[in-house]
């Protein structure tokens, strides 16, 4: 590592710049969460995995602190409700199916540019 003492009073940003780290870990995690949300949302409405993630369990409310649910993370990241996010994801899937050849051309162009 860089072996920087705490008495140097350096900021996290200066250390990240010195190490040339572009994406923070929290950004990578959020990207993965949103990618998984899109994966689940595109599944059938009867899919067990989708029902578990988007559904609620009936019954009595448990005591104590309410658990941090996955859906709350999606709301916090996007700033929108789950219904709006699910609708937007399904709309994007419909658009992608209708213009699949156009997206394929863009994808190959981007992969060539960044390779």
Per-residue pLDDT reduced to its tens digit, 24-68: 888 898 889 888 888 888 888 788 887 777 766 667 777 777 766
- Distance of alpha carbon 76 from alpha carbon 69, whole angstroms: 11
pLDDT at 73 > cutoff 50: yes
Is residue 12 predicted with pLDDT exceeding 60? yes
Among 77, 80, 57, which residue's Cα sits nearest to residue 67? Answer: 57
- C-alpha span between 10 and 35 (Å, rounded): 34
This prediction's pTM: 0.56
Domain ranges of the chain: 25-58+65-92
């Amino acid at each position: 590592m860089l072996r920087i003492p705490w008495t140097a009073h350096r900021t996290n940003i200066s250390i990240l710049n010195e190490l040339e780290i572009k994406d923070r870990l929290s950004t990578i995690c959020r990207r993965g969460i949103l990618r998984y949300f899109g994966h689940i949302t595109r599944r059938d409405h009867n899919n067990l995995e989708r029902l578990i993630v988007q559904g609620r369990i009936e019954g009595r409310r448990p005591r104590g602190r309410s658990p941090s649910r996955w859906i709350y993370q999606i709301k916090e990241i996007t700033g929108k409700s789950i219904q709006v996010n699910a609708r937007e994801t399904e709309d994007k899937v419909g658009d992608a199916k209708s213009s699949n050849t156009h997206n394929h051309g863009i994808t190959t162009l981007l992969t060539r540019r960044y390779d």
